[in-house]
Each structure stands twice: as C-alpha cells, then as structure tokens.
Amino acid sequence: MNPTRSLLLASLLILASRPASIEAAPPPEPRPPVASPRQLRWQELETYAFLHFGPNTFTDKEWGYGDESPALFQPTDFDADAIVASLKAGGLRGLVLTAKHHDGFCLWPSKFTEHSVKNSPWKGGKGDVVRELSEACKRAGLRFGVYLSPWDRNHQDYGKPEYVAYYRKQLRELLTEYGPIFEVWFDGANGGDGYYGGARTTRKIDPITYYGWDETIALVRELQPDACIFSDLGPDTRWVGNESGVAGDTCWATFDPKGYAVGKTPGEILNVGMRDGPVWLPAEVDVSIRPGWFHHAAEDRAVKSVDRLYKLYFDSVGRGCNLILNIPPDRRGRIHESDARAIKDWRRRLDAVFATDLAKGAKAAADQSRGGDPAFAADKAVDGDRATYWSTDDGATTAELTLDLGKPTTFDVVRLREFLPLGQRVDEVAVDAWDGRAWKPLAAATSIGAQRLIALSEPTTTDRVRLRIVKAAACPAISEFSLFFSRAGSQ
Ligand code: FUL
C-alpha cells in the first residue's frame, strides 16, 4: 500500500473507533482579570526570604533616625554564600534585601550619596552587600530582589521634588548593575520626623502625589520588565494588610485599587481582596521569623517555632498568596543559628507532609466534563500535572468530582488548585468523605486560586472522596485535587 493510502486508512480507522461524543473541546475562555506572565512566574515561587540588614542591626533599633554614622556598619563575619545557603536549606526560592531602609543608609556604594557602605570600615569601604548577595543568589539558583525605602530620614531633600529624582537614580543603579531582579519592594511607611541632612524636623508628604509612582513604576518596567512590583496596592502584588502572616480565610487575587491609597487602605480589605475586582493583584504575606524586622540578640529566643511556621504556610501559601518570610542577618553578617535551624526543620516538615499525594492516580469520575473530551476529564485533577485540569461545559457553575482511592486511606490535608491562567473561577467548594453508607461533609472553603490548603481538624479514613464545586463565576478549571496525611511520618 502506498504511504498516502495507509495514512488515510489509519485516520479513517481512528475516526471510526472514536465515539461521536468525543471531540476535541476548546478550552474555556479565561475569566478576567487574569494574571500577567510575570505574575504567573512570581506565583510559582511561593516562599522566599526578606532580609532586613543595616545600621539598625548594630544599634538595636527598628527604625533608624537617619543620623547614624556609616562607621556603625561593620559586620564581623559577613558571608553572602553562607546566608544564601541557610535560606536555601529552608527551601526559600529567593530573597529581597533592604538595600535601603528608612534610615537612608545604602548597602551598596551608591554614586548619589555618601551615606553608604563606601564610608564604612567594613572591607575598607570597598564592600557592597547588594553585589555580594545578588551574586551568591545567582550561584545558588535563588532569585534576588530589592527593597528601597521611599521614606528616607537621612536625605536633606526629603519632601522636595529633588528627593524623588534622587530616589529614581538609586533605583536605576539597583536595577541596572546587579543582574536580574525578581521583585521590587516599595514600602508604605512614613513616620514624619528624621535627621534630613541635619534639619531634624518632621516632614509629612502626601503619599498619593509626592512620589510620582507612575513614573517610577514605568522605570522599573523599562529596566527590569520581569520584576514584580510590591506595594500596598501593587501594581503586581498587594500587601496582605497585616504583618502577622495571615491572609484572609477567603482571599481573592482580584482587587479594585481605585479610590484607595498606599498607607490608607484598610487592612481588612487588603486581607480578603475583592471578588469582582477588575485587576489581578494577589496578596503577598510579609512576616518576620522574629518579633522585629531587624536582628536583635535579645530576640534570639523568640524565633518562631516550626509549628508556627508550619501554620503560617497554611495561612499564606495555603490561601493563594506568596509568603515573604523575614530572616534578618545578625551583627556577624550571618543568619543566626536559631533561625537557620527553624527554617530548615520547617522545610523538612513541609517536604514530609507533601511528599505523598494520596489522591494521585486515584480513579476519578465527574458528573460532567468539558465536551466529553478526555483532555478535560476528571483524572486531570489527579495526574500531578499543574498544566492539565478538569473542566466542564461553559455555564456549569456547580459540578462534582469523585475519587475512588482503591482502599481505605487516611488523610488530614486537602490541597486544591485552579488552573491559574484562566483566572479565579471558583467561589465555593466542599469536600465530602464516603463513610460506607453516605457522604459526610469534611470541609468547605471559599476562594481557591493558586492554591488552597485545608487542614482537617482530625484525620479521616475513607476509600472515596468527593469534591463539590458549590458556586463558581465561570465553569471550573481544577488542576489539582490532592490529599495528604500530615502525621504520616510520625506513626
Ligand atoms: C514596614 C517598615 O516600617 C518596617 O520597618 C519593615 O521594613 C516592614 C517590612 O515594612 O512598613
């Protein structure tokens, strides 16, 4: 048979063996707003570190006044690779460094001020913390980001237009001389009083108009188009509204920043987000592993326990947010042993809990799947692949997916994920367990997004589990329905 004829025959056979109902269905339309490619990449990082380091480390303060002598900055044993290795052992995928905190001291030798490491005895004035940490991150495969405090208690021009020009010049240095930057952190604090070049006054600014944010944001876009910008109100990630590490139990990635201002948006609103907000603006949860943001020896025994860190993960990443966990270097320029141990043990615990997905490969059946197409069938929610998903026909806003686990299985954590490129579609879900005679409600949740972790109050044993989409704004696209047993290792 000639090759053309055999190909034709093969296609006819395939067509004949395909039931009429199985036709390739088009994927669902995204439900706007959706994440930008930059936000999607950011979302995958899940946990990274915050590093507060500077004169405050040496004066035992949280907010320096701005008159601290650069001579104070003298870490005795700074080792960027050792810092990054500690963070990596804690499973953190990047770090954001306070290149400049409110005291105005620059951890890099900026050309535009004398108030920097170039006038410190550390490394004879030749040191550059930003350079060393950015390079250590590159070597270790971690992402690097910068915090550049808009409020500057050292600068003489703070409050005048000249300062904003200075701020942008500094930003340009940071964004052009230190390689790729994954996040730029714009803090919203302004306490008013400061040294201000010797004036020692109080300077209040209007946070909405003074900084000219649109222009500064355009500068970041121009110099580092892949960097996500954090501020209270984005534009890429918003503040979660508190510094205690807890996102709203319902937490939407969507928001409407119109009418709100940095420093003036109620925490409760940022915490929950807005279901019908027109802008994709997921929350980032910032919290310190210690009571303060900077290292204070007196707090060495107040480092959060593994249990608290574990709960923080559920309250942040488990509610669709990213977690930026502050782990401040000490006066040596190292991560203190207590912090290093805590994050390492925390990660070991997370890895153990999420090592075995008990739902993976389960026999999955749904009351409906999109166009009857296997590409959107129930098993796509249990194939361990975030790029595939179970979906239904357009217009279906309720649906059910049942897993036959094959044998009695004990679990106490449920993980759900939506296929994020299609937006946040699901409002409300419920999970039930089969008790041999009937379905018993196990858990319920609102908002899924990137990820929703539900910790059950006690372990459940069953051979059948059901996910119910109770309410959705568009047909669901569920990329993952997973089950874990958090105490598996401890039995
Ligand atoms: C706040 C600052 O005032 C704190 O010092 C710290 O940097 C925290 C992350 O943000 O607004």
Place 163 in a pLDDT band, splitting at 50, 70 and 90: very high
* Residue 109 or 9, more confident: 109
Residue 263: per-residue pLDDT: 85
Separation of CA 287 and ligand 1 centre (Å): 10
Whose CA is closest to atom 2 on ligand 1?
Answer: 189
Question: What's the pLDDT at 262?
Answer: 86
The pLDDT tens digits of the residues spanning 40-80 come to 999 999 999 999 999 999 999 999 999 999 999 999 999 99
Is 13's pLDDT higher than 50? Answer: no
Write out residues with Cβ below 6 Å of ligand 1.
62, 187-189, 286, 293
Q: Kindly compute the dihedral angle of the four CA atoms of residues 185, 189, 193, 196, in this order, to the nearest 10 degrees.
A: 10
Q: Would you say residue 1 has pLDDT above 80? A: no
Q: Evaluate whether 452 touches 481 at the Cβ level (below 8 Å).
A: no
Of the candidates 33, 114, 29, the one whose C-alpha atom is nearest the C-alpha of residue 71 is 114
| Two tokens, residue 136 | 């250590």
Query: Do the Cβ atoms of 260 and 455 come closer than 8 Å?
Result: no
* pLDDT classification of 264: cutoffs 50, 70, 90: confident
Token pair, residue 101, equals: 């905190």
pLDDT digits (tens, 9 = 90+) for 323-339: 999 999 999 999 999 99
Tell how far the Cα of 150 is from the centroid of ligand 1, in angstroms: 11
pLDDT score, position 10: 40
Q: Which two tokens stand for residue 293?
A: 């943001």
Average pLDDT over residues 145-165: 98
Name the pairing type of β-strands 279-280 and 426-434: unpaired
Give the closest residue (by CA) to ligand 1 atom 11: 189
Nearest ligand 1 atom to alpha carbon 294: 5
> Closest residue (by CA) to atom 4 of ligand 1?
293
Q: State the closest ligand 1 atom to the C-alpha of 63, by its place in the atom list counted from 1.
A: 5
% the chain with pLDDT above 70: 95
Characterize the bridge pairing of strands 399-418 and 452-472: antiparallel
**Mean pLDDT across 106-115:** 98
How many CA atoms lie less than 13 Å away from 249 in the CB half-sphere?
A: 6
Cis status of the peptide bond prior to 33, with omega within 30 of 0: yes
**pLDDT of 402:** 98
Per-residue pLDDT at 241: 98
Which atom from ligand 1 is nearest to the alpha carbon of 101? Answer: 7
Ligand 1 mutation pick, 147, 185, 187, 294, max ligand atoms within 8 A of CB? 187
User: How confident is residue 22, by pLDDT bands cut at 50, 70 and 90?
Assistant: low
Whether pLDDT at 7 is above 60: no
Give pTM, 2 decimals: 0.95
| pLDDT tens figures, 402-417 | 999 999 999 999 999 9
For CATH 2.60.120.260, the residue range(s) in the chain are: 357-486
CATH code, 357-486: 2.60.120.260
Compute the distance from residue 100 Cα to the ligand 1 centre, in Å.
Answer: 11
Q: How far apart are the C-alpha atoms of 84 and 140, rounded to whole Å?
A: 7
pLDDT tens-digit readout, 373-409: 999 999 999 999 999 999 999 999 999 999 999 999 9
Give percent above pLDDT 90 in the chain. Answer: 92
- The pLDDT tens digits for 351-375 are 999 999 999 999 999 999 999 999 9
Q: What pLDDT is attached to residue 490? A: 61
Q: What is the mean pLDDT of the chain?
A: 95
pLDDT score of 261 = 87
Q: Write down the CATH number for the domain with range 37-353.
A: 3.20.20.80
Whole-number pLDDT of residue 132: 99
- The pLDDT tens digits of the residues spanning 215-255 come to 999 999 999 999 999 999 999 999 999 999 999 999 999 99
Residue 176: pLDDT over 80: yes
Angle between helices 161-177 and 213-223 (to 10 degrees): 20
Work out the number of other CB atoms within 10 angstroms of the CB of residue 86.
23
Task: Report d(CA 321, CA 449) in Å as an integer.
Answer: 9
- Asked whether residue 488 carries a pLDDT value surpassing 90, the answer given is no
pLDDT band at 9 (very low <50, low <70, confident <90, very high): very low
Residue 4 has pLDDT above 70, yes or no: no
pLDDT per position as a tens digit, 280-320? 999 999 999 999 999 999 999 999 999 999 999 999 999 99
Query: Could you identify the residue written with the tokens 């004398």?
Result: 114
